[in-house]
Structure 1
Amino acid sequence: MTSLTAEDFIERSPLYPLHAGARLAALGNSAVVARYSEQEERAQLERCALIDLTNLPRVGFRGADSAAYLSARDFQLPDAANQSLTQADSSLIARLSQTEYLLLGSLHDVGARIAALEADWRLGDSANYLLPRQDSHAWLQLTGQYIAEVMAKLCGVDLRPKAFPMGAVAQTSAARINVIVINQSAGDLPSFQILCDRASVNYFWDAMLDAMQEFGGAPVGVDALLD
């Protein structure tokens, strides 16, 4: 089988130069890292791991009618700002303010539901405005038993489970850049979804890996999430 390279894809994560040697997989017209080595990466995922999800679809909506728009399309919405809800298909909705929502696609359908939602939006008379997030924000996932300790080295907000439970959202600063952190822990796997400025993600990736080093952290591919 011919090995895929980043140059084989129309869309590439801004982190692709740092993924040299990794095994890539197709996500539509874009590339994702499937795995970094031939070894099983699930154990790393459970200890301390960082995954690049930047090419998975995401989108935002803002306006007084956004809640009704999303509810009509069978999304379950958080009751308050700075809360999130994982949907039945594993996509995620984070409520960033009274009238603003951020939607993250699921690996299980390679983000198809969220991509279709963005493609189907049309400007009309209702106060529901599309906020494209694919080109503005990069998306990383931090997993494992040490996620709060890692973030404590970069962020002044207390992200330990008692202060930052499952479903909580923090709009804050980490490594001196603005980030959105969402606690999407599932089952026995602690997990933060982290979104940052796309132009700053190379710097932030290195800062994250440096903070993870003390805890034996390492990057892993999406196959570990699907195993």
Structure 2
Amino acid sequence: MTTQAEHFSERSPLHSLHSGARLGKLGDCSIVTSYGGSDEAATAARCALLDFSNLARVGFRGEAAASYLGARGYELPDAPNQALSQNDGGQVLRLSQNEYLLLGSLLDAGSRIRQEEREWQYDGRANYLLPRQDSHAWLLLSGQYGSQVMAKLCGVDLGAEAFGPGSVAQTSAARINVIVANLPLGELPCLHILCDRASAHYLWGALLDAMQEFDGQPVGIDALP
């Protein structure tokens, strides 16, 4: 366990907002483990916000992307705007017919996805690497009230009936472009939200404001199942 004063080679774009939080090491990066709340697991089950921006992610695009990823051992969604959880805890989002976004797993601190980015080489096929670590921030909205929070900010219906597990939406929330994926952690409802890294502070604040009605709070990864 470390404190906010420790130095890491990479920091989340939301680093300055986590004052006083307990930090743990995530590879060469940091991640909030706890804010010191009395029962953050209960908050996570109700309405909570987590910063996953230092967890690895990467994209691939092109007509050969699917065969490339399949050969690397990934299970791929059948259609655009769908997502599949992988055996290692990672996620694959299909954003279009030929574009995929891979989200890393906390179980291996995102090491598999970091390795994919390091090892990719252009081999003449239509399969192109899309670095996403520096372009997108990654937030996790957990709990039973997640879709009601998003209803305040987003015009797309993200309720359970219209937007079930494995659904992906490329839309706007709080007037900025976002990717939203419904990917529960066990029984815990979770909406993964990716936005432009430069807009991370703004979206974090907008979400916290929308969460107030449900007593929502930021929590660390120790609150997750």
Contact 1:6 1:31 in 2 (8 A): no
Match of 2:160 in 1: 161
Contact 1:60 1:132 in 2 (8 A): yes
- State the 1:7 CA deviation: 5.0
Secondary structure of the residue aligned to 2:96 is: coil
2:186 & 2:103 partners in 1: Cα distance?
A: 19
Match of 2:151 in 1: 152
Match of 1:31 in 2: 30
State the number of aligned residues.
Answer: 225
**129-138 or 186-195: bigger deviation:** 186-195
Runs of 4+ in 1 over 2 A off after TM superposition: 3-7
| CA offset digits 1:144-176 (Å, max 9, x no partner) | 000110000000000001100110000000000
Contact 2:62 2:99 in 1 (8 A): yes
- State the 1:5 CA deviation: 2.2
- Aligned alpha-carbon RMSD (Å): 1.2
Residues 6 and 55 of structure 1, relative CA distance in 2, 3 Å threshold: farther
1:48 & 1:220 partners in 2: Cα distance?
A: 10
TM-score with structure 1 setting the length: 0.96
TM-score with structure 2 setting the length: 0.97
Instruction: Work out whether 1:65 is the aligned partner of 2:76.
Output: no
Secondary structure of the residue aligned to 1:179 is: strand
Match of 1:101 in 2: 100
Look up the equivalent residue of 1:55 and give its one-letter code: N
Query: Could you list the runs of 5+ residues in structure 2 that have no partner in the other structure?
Result: none
Instruction: Work out whether 1:113 is the aligned partner of 2:122.
Output: no
Identity %: 61
Query: Could you list the runs of 5+ residues in structure 1 that have no partner in the other structure?
Result: none
| CA offset digits 1:39-95 (Å, max 9, x no partner) | 331111100000000000000000000000000011000000000000011100000
Matched ranges for 1:1-227 at <5 A: 3-5=2-4, 7-37=6-36, 39-225=38-224, 227=225
- State the 1:38 CA deviation: 5.5
| CA offset digits 1:96-146 (Å, max 9, x no partner) | 000000000000110111111111000111110000000000000000000
